[in-house]
């Protein structure tokens, strides 16, 4: 070894030195660092797990929100449809009612007109009768002289018993 | 009892008696004759609130009434 230029003592010392350094490094630096790293990895895993859970929940919430929105939209559409149907039915009912009332008014008016027409016809006929009888009266007044009236009375007297009975 | 006979001209006694004979209601009545040309012809007898209308005007009124009822 000496021939190779290697100093055994120095080599041993360096080995011991290295061994000591290794032990110290392992105990005071490598182990806590490893522990720290493990800890950090564990924390990271937990974080990831937590993130995954949060993400999952978030996705579930988004999904739920979507469902809720879809349901709300559906409900709203149904409500609008229902309202439209109700409005249409109400409108139709109002139109039908108005139509019925209009028909009633027209019917009543026609009846009234018919009644007035009949009444007018009746009044006209009465006036015609009145006028005709006035004309007859005036005509008889002028036509019937005392001689004719005496003849009428004579005839009447002849038939008087029959008239009275 | 009083009775009134309305005619278009003054009636003679014989005519009044003839009427009296034919209408028992005025057989015993004191008869007054009134002239009213408006009745046009024939006679109207008024006795005890009753009216026996045998005039042409009465006939026309009856005719008018019948016509009114026929409308």
B60–A contact, CB cutoff 8 A: yes
Query: Which residue's structure tokens are 């039908």?
Result: A96
B30-35/B50-55 β-pairing: unpaired
Q: Which carries the bigger pLDDT value, residue A149 or residue B35?
A: B35
**For residue B25, is pLDDT > 90?**
no
pLDDT for A165: 46
* ipTM surpassing 0.85: no
Of the candidates B60, B59, B58, the one whose C-alpha atom is nearest the C-alpha of residue A132 is B60
Yes or no, beta carbons of A140 and B41 under 8 Å apart: yes
Q: What residue of A is the nearest CA neighbor of B44?
A: A153
Average pLDDT across chain B, whole number:
92
User: For residue A118, what is the nearest residue in chain B, using CA coordinates?
Assistant: B71
Query: Does pTM top 0.90 for this prediction?
Result: no
Dist. CA A17–CA A30, nearest whole Å: 17
Q: Which residues of A touch B55 (CB under 8 A)?
A: none
What's the average pLDDT block by block, 10 residues per block, for chain A (165 residues)?
77 92 89 90 93 93 95 96 96 97 97 96 95 94 87 83 52
Chain B positions touching A125 (Cβ under 8 A) are 71
Distance, C-alpha B2 to centroid of its chain: 14
């Amino acid at each position: 070894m000496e021939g190779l230029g290697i100093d055994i003592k120095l080599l041993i010392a360096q080995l011991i030195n290295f061994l000591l350094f290794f032990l110290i490094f392992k105990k005071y630096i490598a182990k806590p660092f490893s522990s720290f790293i493990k800890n950090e990895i564990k924390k990271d895993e937990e974080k990831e797990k937590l993130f995954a859970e949060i993400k999952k929940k978030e996705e579930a919430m988004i999904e739920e929100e979507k469902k809720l929105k879809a349901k709300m939209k559906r409900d709203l559409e149904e409500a609008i449809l229902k309202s439209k149907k109700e409005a249409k039915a109400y409108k139709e009912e109002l139109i039908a009612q108005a139509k019925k009332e209009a028909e009633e008014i027209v019917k009543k008016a026609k009846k009234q007109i018919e009644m007035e027409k009949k009444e007018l016809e009746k009044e006209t006929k009465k006036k015609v009768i009145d006028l005709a009888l006035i004309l007859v009266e005036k005509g008889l007044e002028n036509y019937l002289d005392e001689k004719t009236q005496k003849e009428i009375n004579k005839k009447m007297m002849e038939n008087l018993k029959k008239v009275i009975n | 009892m009083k009775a009134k006979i309305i005619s278009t001209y003054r009636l003679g006694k014989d005519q009044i008696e003839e009427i009296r004979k034919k209408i028992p209601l005025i057989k015993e009545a004191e008869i007054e004759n009134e002239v009213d040309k408006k009745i046009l012809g024939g006679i109207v007898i008024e006795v005890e609130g009753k009216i026996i209308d045998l005039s042409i005007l009465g006939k026309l009124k009856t005719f008018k009434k019948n016509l009114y009822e026929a409308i």
